[in-house]
Amino acid sequence: MSLNFNTPLFEIIRDKNKCIQCKVCVRQCANEVHWYSSYENIVNSDNNKCVNCHRCVILCPTKAITIRKHRLEFRNNSNWTSNAIKEIQKQADTGGVLLSSMGNPNKLPIYWDKILLNASQVTNPSIDPLREPMETKVMIGRKPDKLKFNKQGDLITDMPPQIELNVPIMFSAMSYGSISKNAHEALARAATKLGICYNTGEGGLNKDFYKYGKNTIVQVASGRFGVYKDYLNAGVGIEIKIGQGAKPGIGGHLPGKKVGADVSVTRMIPIGSDAISPAPHHDIYSIEDLRQLIFALKETTNYSKPIFVKIAAVHNAAAIASGIVRAGADVVVVDGFRGGTGAAPTRVRDNVGIPIEFALASIDQRLREEGIRNSASLVISGSIRNSSDIVKAIALGADAVYIGSAALIAMGCHMCRSCSTGKCNWGIATQQYDLVKRLNPDIMYKRLVNLISAWNHEIQEMLGGMGINAVDSLRGNKLMLRGIDLNETELRILGIKYVGE
């Protein structure tokens, strides 16, 4: 056994004057960072184990704990950064693939921040959402090319199934297994209260949550975990997951230790077995195969639910999206390279896929050029951080967005990016009973409702500022956007003008 070269990332600073040796930190930390020495009557900590999740900081009654970046530095080197060195040491130590959690954290351009919005001045009045109607409802699903009326003026077109969202936001797919039952309950109840939808993810649906079906989208991924007829009919829509922004080209992994009795029943797999989704769907090796699955699901549900197809934003996403629409999907979901995950190979997460802003703009444009934009709704995800990201996404052509990380943060996630360890101190990304019960769904669903309500108010303010009183009139309305700090190619692909133009 060689020497372990790992050095700590964080440093725990305990103010000895404030610490009352109450041991809350010792009990709260699943990573066993803190321990109490009765001999000295002090609480000690092991920096090496700390993931900086802030659980101890927030629960410490005397606020004695501070965590900061560890001061230990490697000699300055712009090429061999400390991260590069540490990753090599870790792999030399274990011989394994590097795993990471949550979205790509690297310093790459965030295009939302390079897009600015318009507002009305003089020639066009802004509209005050406090005093005038301001509509944010959207209908998700395939629309016919046109409506037909008979001679008496009655509508004779049968509408394909639609999902009504009061706000153009949904909670994105996070499986039961990757996150806890309590987290799922909070998401389901918040979606119900808000009149939006949450997505089950690929791990099936716990029996207790079938009652939230009107606000549920069930997912079918390559592992087909928990998929059977009742499950498919449980929600208002079905999502076929082809790929995910955090790990395009590979399937989901759930380690066996997260597969307890309840997850096992829900996923329909033995207790303790690893749930490894195959990289592709083994019944989809081409677009015509996708069509068969789409229609198999439509047949199973008697054509009563829109079928979503979710892909990761990759280089030729526009052509793929067009194929998906032509294959019969009612909703195309595109997940950008910043999208979150419970666990993904680090190299894949940080190097595969493209920014969602570009995938969105090029898909929307492509579908319009082919005259099929109305044939499917376009939902995007992959690091929507706030309401202005949503306004920009809709103006670039999205019908709605999925949020994952933001919803978890509302429930207590502090982005320590250690989901894959299964020791989430906030009770989110864990199946450990003592940790799961820390997340109180009665409180957390309200925090989710607060977040979406706040964002909805902000969206309404921005819409009103632009002189728009329905989100319908923002969709694809690129004149409301201007780019800053972008080159000509970026502007062309986004389809927007530069500031001042």
Partner 1 sequence: MINKEGKVKIPSGCAITGIIDKNGNKFNGEDIIKSIALMHERSNGLGGGFAAYGIYPEYKDFYALHIFFDDFNIKIQTEDYIKKNFDIINSESIPTKKNPKIYDPPLIWRYFLNPKKDNIEKKEIDEKEFVFKCVMEINKNFKGAYIFSSGKNMGVFKGVGYPEDIGKFFLLDTYEAYIWTAHGRFPTNTPGWWGGAHPFTLLNWSVVHNGEISSYDANRRFVEMYGYICTLKTDTEVITFLFDMLIRKHNIPLKKAIKIVVAPFWDDIEKEIDPSLKKELKSIRSVYASALINGPFSIILGFEDGILALNDRIKLRPLVVATKDAKTYISSEESAIRVICNNPDKVWMPAGGEPIIALLKKEYR
Is residue 468 close enough to count as binding partner 1 by CB under 8 A? yes
Contact 402, 172 (CB under 8 A): yes
Choose, by CB under 8 A, the member of 18, 148, 211, 492 that binds partner 1. 148
Nearest Cα neighbor of 423 from 412, 436, 411 is 436
Choose, by CB under 8 A, the member of 440, 477, 491, 493 that binds partner 1. 477
CA within 13 Å, CB half, 404: 27
Count interface residues toward partner 1 (CB under 8 A): 42
Choose, by CB under 8 A, the member of 49, 291, 447, 478 that binds partner 1. 478
Is residue 479 close enough to count as binding partner 1 by CB under 8 A? yes
Q: Which of residues 77-136 bind partner 1 (CB under 8 A)?
A: 120, 123-125, 127, 132-133, 135
Contact 28, 56 (CB under 8 A): yes
Is residue 143 close enough to count as binding partner 1 by CB under 8 A? yes
For residue 453, the minimal CB distance to partner 1 (Å) is 17
Choose, by CB under 8 A, the member of 27, 69, 282, 368 that binds partner 1. 368
Is residue 467 close enough to count as binding partner 1 by CB under 8 A? yes
**Segment near partner 1 (CB under 8 A); pick from 52-60, 193-201, 383-391, 467-475:** 467-475
Element (H or E) spanning 128, and its range?
none
Element (H or E) spanning 402, and its range?
strand 400-403
Residue 383 region by backbone torsions, left for phi larger than 0, else alpha for psi between -120 and 50, else beta: left
Contact 199, 170 (CB under 8 A): yes
For residue 378, the minimal CB distance to partner 1 (Å) is 13
Nearest Cα neighbor of 372 from 329, 308, 424, 314 is 329
As a whole number of angstroms, the distance between CA 57 and CA 50 comes to 12
Is residue 146 close enough to count as binding partner 1 by CB under 8 A? yes
The four Cα atoms 468, 473, 478, 479 give a dihedral, to 10 degrees, of: -40
For residue 355, the minimal CB distance to partner 1 (Å) is 22
Site string for partner 1, 7-46 (x = CB under 8 A): ----------------------------------------
Contact 444, 432 (CB under 8 A): no
Which residues bind to partner 1, rule: CB under 8 A?
Answer: 120, 123-125, 127, 132-133, 135, 137-139, 141, 143-144, 146-149, 153-155, 157, 159, 162, 368, 371, 373-374, 466-470, 472-480
